[in-house]
Structures are given as structure tokens and as C-alpha cells.
Amino acid sequence: MRDKKREVAEYIEIEGMPMEAIYELIERPQDLSKGDYALPCFRFAKTLRKSPVMIAEEIKNKILDKSHPFESVEAINGYLNFKFDKKKESLYLIENIRKQGAKYGSSDEGKGKTVCIDYSSINIAKPFHIGHLMTTVLGGALYRIYKKRGYNAVGINHLGDWGTQFGKLIVAYKMWGDEKTIRETGIMGLNDLYVKYHREAEKDKDLDDKARAWFKKIEDGDKEALKLFELFKELTLVEVEKVYKRLNIKFDSYAGESFYNDKMEPVLNELREKGLIEVSEGAEIVNLDEYQMPPCLLVRSDGATLYATRDLAAAFYRKKTYDFWKNLYVVAYQQNLHFKQVFKVVELMGYEWAKDLIHIPFGMVSLESGSMSTRAGNVVWLKDVLDRSEEQSLDIIKAKSPHLNNKETVSKQVGVGAVIFFALSSGRIKDTVFSYDEVLNFDGETGPYVQYTNARCNSVLRKAEVDIKNIPSGEIEADFSSIENESSYTLISILEQFGEILSISLDKYEPSILTRYLIDVAKAFNKFYLENRIIDGKLGVSNARLALVCSTAVVLKEGLSLLGIEAPEEM
């Protein structure tokens, strides 16, 4: 990406000062009307034995003697202010975006750094419900943005594939199920069994004992138990993969909880050797009183390991396997304490990389009405939400664009995109309420609004005489004075921020910054579109504006794609 600060530094000559040192001093002035960049000259007064005012004046004169890319260079109160030539700038930027296409906004800032991202991490044999929407799309967006910025991102689905629920499921399956039916009904059938189990277990206390016994069999590697366990896992994953496909989600690893069965003991031994384990009523714990936290329970009195034990083993495994720079956990804020405990235990073991374990919490999504408990059976399946959003979007598209050819495909892209965009649009920590009407409002601050703006760009480009997209950069016959107006300049300056926006989104682990940004691009474009005749009688004028439209479409499409949303060219 272009580094404008560096461009400024390259023009400044000060005796005895290397360019790098000057570069570090350059800042953005508080009042941007005075300039885009400023060099404070106070630091040089002592060595040069001149006043900062004089120094600024002298540097200025040296620059003005040569040819330079600035509209103005001004010395004000010991500062030297630089303003870039807007017209040349804009031209450069538009051409640069057009030339780079989908690569625009990439960088190598993450070179050599591996980021593990633990996201989605659904539970086997439980429904993929709306509670897993946030972690899935947040993690997916971070994964793609990290890659775009040059990081080596590793997407990990830490499947919830261990625990007593499998014992319960086997009991239920043996009483009320069979393989043929369950293969047909898949995850829905498993869920029904699970719900039924809980209803019956309230009346029949023996069931829980049976369930525990079956789980023990899984742990001991009993053939039948393992076979059923694998069947449940297989059936769940088939269904879940369909949802991932719709949401454009990918993983590099599906190492879930069961993967760590044989990897906990070494960690526990190390803890014991380091004297960190206390035995309390037969259970092994790490006392965290000193840190104002309840103890981290690692081995129950019956010998069973826990969720935290698996996470501990997983952290070590990831460090060893990926040598991560950071290991992120995109998990709801309900698990704040869990992660604080696990991270603390790693720290107490003396590993400095404990600081690289980062929990990225997020708030709850609820539907306008209804709760989401798995056991009560009235859970909101993510699949159903996506289906309904697609259907509703099809109705809107039929009404809005009766002549559109591929309505079905587009309504899928819009329906699913609307859900993703919604999930990523407020700050992640906020609890939100999902409403179909709101997320599908084509005029609101929504996914469809951004997609629609992109389609509008493409429609303008299609109507033009010249195929702007395919003209090599620099060869465009354009009159760039036709974009010398406020709405064009505003749009251009927003497009310029794309790379920076991506970088900030990562620093804060907030794809919502990108989401917000795309709304700003769309709004700025629509204002520009309203105020400028794009296809004008004069070819030069049209071409310059078309080039800007083309750059806008590049940013919208790439921005959406980083969020996991498709950008249909016609809507």
C-alpha cells in the first residue's frame, strides 16, 4: 500500500538527519485544512542552532526549488505543512485501485506471523442454532482479513465432541432410535432424541446413571459405544457443512475436544510437578484465590477431565504445532471466566506466551421473539433463519426487479448476506435482536443496501460505451477535472482508507469497523451518483467518473467478500 508519510519524508532534506528519523517525526496535523502532513521543526533547533521558524522556512524553499507532488508546502509557527495535490492524488488512487482489483487493501504487515483462530466450534449432536451465528461469522471474517493482511491464519473448529451428552444420546438412541431412521433424519433426529431424553430423565432417574455408564464406555474405547459416537459426529458434520458452505466458512483444522483425550495427561503431570495442583475433596484443582477467581477444576473426583482441561491441552498443542503469534478464541462472553482461568493457569506454569492467548467475546443474538434453549426443544436453528431470510429476500426481489434473470441465486446471496452483515454490524460485545424486516431493508444500513450499491455500480459500468474495467491503467483517456467536486473527493478519500480500516479491524478484533466502513462507501457513492452525470456526452468526463465507479465497485465487492458476503452484479 501507498505510504504517503514516506513520500513526504523523501522530499525533506536536513543536514545530518537520516530519512528514517525524519519519517518518524512526521505527523498528521490536528487541523487537516492546514495540510495532510506536518513536520514539527522544534527538535532540530539545537543541532542546527536556528529557530524552528527559520528551519521550516529553509526546508520549504529547498522543496519549492524542485518539482514536487504537493499542492502547497507552508511553514507555520515552526511546523512545515504539506498538502498533496488532490487532483493528482485522486487520479493516482483511482488508477491504483482499478489496477489492483481484488488485491487492493492487501498488505504484508502480517508476514511471518501465525494467528490461530478458534471459531464456530459447534457441539456435536446439538443443533447448529442462532447462538453459534456470531462466533462463526466473526471468526470467518477475522480469518479472511488476517489472510488479506499477510498473516498466516489457521482456522480451528474446536468441536464440542466430548462429554456426558454422548452417553445420554446413546441411551436415547438405544431406547427410541435405529440406524436407518437416524441416517434419514440426521441432526434433527439426534436433536429429537436429545430432547426426548431430557423429558424422560426427569421422570426416570435411572437414565442418568445409564448415560454415565455409556459415556464411560466411550472413554474406555468400547467398540459399540465408539461406533455410535462416530455416527453421531458424522451426521452432525454433514448438516453443519451445508451451513458453512452457505456462510462461506472454512477451517484448516477440526481438532475438537475428543482430539485432546491423550494430550491432557502430560500437561496435568507438568502442573503436578510444578506444585500447582491442589487436591480438594478428591478433585484436582488450581487454586486461583490470589487472582480473585474460583479454582480451575481440571480433574473431577471420579477421574473425569473437563472442558478446561481440554482447552489447556489445546493451547499447548497449538503452540507446539503452529508456534502462533496469537491464539484467538472467538467465544461468547458467558465464557469470560473460563478463559481467564485457563490463561492464568498457563501463565502460572511460567509460559510467557500466555499473554498471546486472547479471548474475543461477543454478545447474544436473540430473535424478535422466543428463547433458545436446546433442552426445551424450542431452539432457533441457524438453517431455518437462513432459509427464511432467503425466502423473504426472493419476495422483495420479485417485486423490485421483476425482469432479473437469476432471481433465485441472487435472493440466496442477498438473504444470507443480510444475516451475516447484521451479525457483523454492531460492536461485537453488544447484545442484539434480529429482525427479518430490518436486516432485509434495502434502504437501511444493511447488507442488501451495500450489495445494491455495488450492483448499481456494475449497472453503470455495463451501460458505458467503454469497457473501463479492462483498460490498462495509465491508458485511460479521461478528463480528471470532472471529478473535482466535493462528492467525488469525499468518495475518493473514503476509498483510500480501505487498507487502514482493515488494519484497525484486526487491531480491535472488530469486523464491524469494516461493515460500518462499507456503509460509508455506499452512502458516499450514492451521493456522488446523485450529483454527477456519470455517462456524460463528453468521453473524457464519462471516463474519469466511470473509473471512480469502477474503483468503488472493487472496494465494495472485496469488502463484502472479506465479511463472507457475495456481491451480485445485478439485483
Shortest separation between residue 338's beta carbon and ligand ARG, angstroms: 7
What is the number of alpha carbons within 13 Å of residue 154 lying toward its C-beta? 19
CB 546 within 8 A of CB 554: no
Shortest separation between residue 202's beta carbon and ligand ARG, angstroms: 24
CB 462 within 8 A of CB 393: no
User: Judged by CB under 6 A, which of 52, 140, 160, 177 binds ligand ARG?
Assistant: 160
CB 155 within 8 A of CB 119: yes
Query: What phi, psi does 117 have (nearest 5°)?
Result: -125, 115
Those residues whose C-beta lies under 8 Å from the C-beta of residue 498, and which sit 6 or more positions away, are 104, 105, 517, 555, 558, 559
SS (H, E, C) 329-356: EECCHHHHHHHHHHHHHHHHCCCHHHHH
Residue 329 lies near ligand ARG (rule: CB under 6 A): yes
Residue 260 lies near ligand ARG (rule: CB under 6 A): no
Shortest separation between residue 337's beta carbon and ligand ARG, angstroms: 12
Smaller CB separation from ligand ARG, 332 or 404: 332
Closest CA to 225 of 285, 173, 290: 173
Smaller CB separation from ligand ARG, 331 or 414: 331
Q: Angle CA(116)–CA(120)–CA(122) in degrees, nearest 5? A: 125
Shortest separation between residue 6's beta carbon and ligand ARG, angstroms: 41
Shortest separation between residue 318's beta carbon and ligand ARG, angstroms: 10
CB 449 within 8 A of CB 421: no
Residues in contact with ligand ARG, counted by CB under 6 A, come to a total of 9
From residue 103 to residue 132, the character string flagging contacts with ligand ARG as x (rule: CB under 6 A) and all else as - is ---------------x--x-x---------
Smaller CB separation from ligand ARG, 211 or 331: 331
Smaller CB separation from ligand ARG, 129 or 246: 129
Smaller CB separation from ligand ARG, 11 or 307: 307
Shortest separation between residue 160's beta carbon and ligand ARG, angstroms: 3
Residue 331 lies near ligand ARG (rule: CB under 6 A): yes
Smaller CB separation from ligand ARG, 342 or 420: 342
Which is it for the CA torsion 103, 106, 112, 115, positive or negative? Answer: negative
Smaller CB separation from ligand ARG, 258 or 482: 258
Query: What phi, psi does 351 have (nearest 5°)?
Result: -95, 120
- Return the number of other C-beta atoms located less than 10 Å from residue 405's C-beta: 9
How does 302-317 read in b/e, with b if 16+ C-beta sit within 10 Å?
Answer: eeebbebbbbbbbbbe
Which is it for the CA torsion 420, 423, 427, 428, positive or negative? Answer: negative
In the numeric block, which cell numbers belong to residue 335?
A: 465464557
Q: N- to C-terminal Cα distance for the chain?
A: 32
CB 268 within 8 A of CB 299: yes
Give the span between the Cα atoms of 254 and 237, in whole angstroms: 10
Shortest separation between residue 374's beta carbon and ligand ARG, angstroms: 10
From residue 294 to residue 313, the character string flagging contacts with ligand ARG as x (rule: CB under 6 A) and all else as - is -----------------x--
Residue 551 lies near ligand ARG (rule: CB under 6 A): no
Give the span between the Cα atoms of 551 and 458, in whole angstroms: 11
Shortest separation between residue 478's beta carbon and ligand ARG, angstroms: 52
Smaller CB separation from ligand ARG, 14 or 315: 315
Shortest separation between residue 250's beta carbon and ligand ARG, angstroms: 17
Give the span between the Cα atoms of 540 and 477, in whole angstroms: 6
Residue 158 lies near ligand ARG (rule: CB under 6 A): yes
Shortest separation between residue 165's beta carbon and ligand ARG, angstroms: 11
Smaller CB separation from ligand ARG, 126 or 412: 126
Shortest separation between residue 330's beta carbon and ligand ARG, angstroms: 8
Shortest separation between residue 272's beta carbon and ligand ARG, angstroms: 23
CB 423 within 8 A of CB 438: no
Smaller CB separation from ligand ARG, 301 or 321: 321
Give the span between the Cα atoms of 417 and 450, in whole angstroms: 10
Smaller CB separation from ligand ARG, 44 or 362: 362
Distance of CA 515 to the CA centre of its chain: 10
Shortest separation between residue 122's beta carbon and ligand ARG, angstroms: 6
Smaller CB separation from ligand ARG, 329 or 436: 329
Shortest separation between residue 121's beta carbon and ligand ARG, angstroms: 4
CB 70 within 8 A of CB 78: no
Residue nearest ligand ARG, CB atom distance: 160
Residue 356 lies near ligand ARG (rule: CB under 6 A): no
Smaller CB separation from ligand ARG, 123 or 453: 123
C-alpha pair distances (Å), 382 with each of 365, 372, 419: 11, 11, 10
Smaller CB separation from ligand ARG, 247 or 397: 247
Give one DSSP letter per residue of 98-156, joined into a string.
Answer: HHHGGGTT---TTTT-EEEEE---PBTTS--BGGGHHHHHHHHHHHHHHHHTT-EEEEE
Burial class from Cβ neighbours inside 10 Å (0-12, 13-18, 19+) for residue 514 reads buried
Residue ranges binding ligand ARG (CB under 6 A): 118, 121, 123, 158, 160, 311, 314, 329, 331
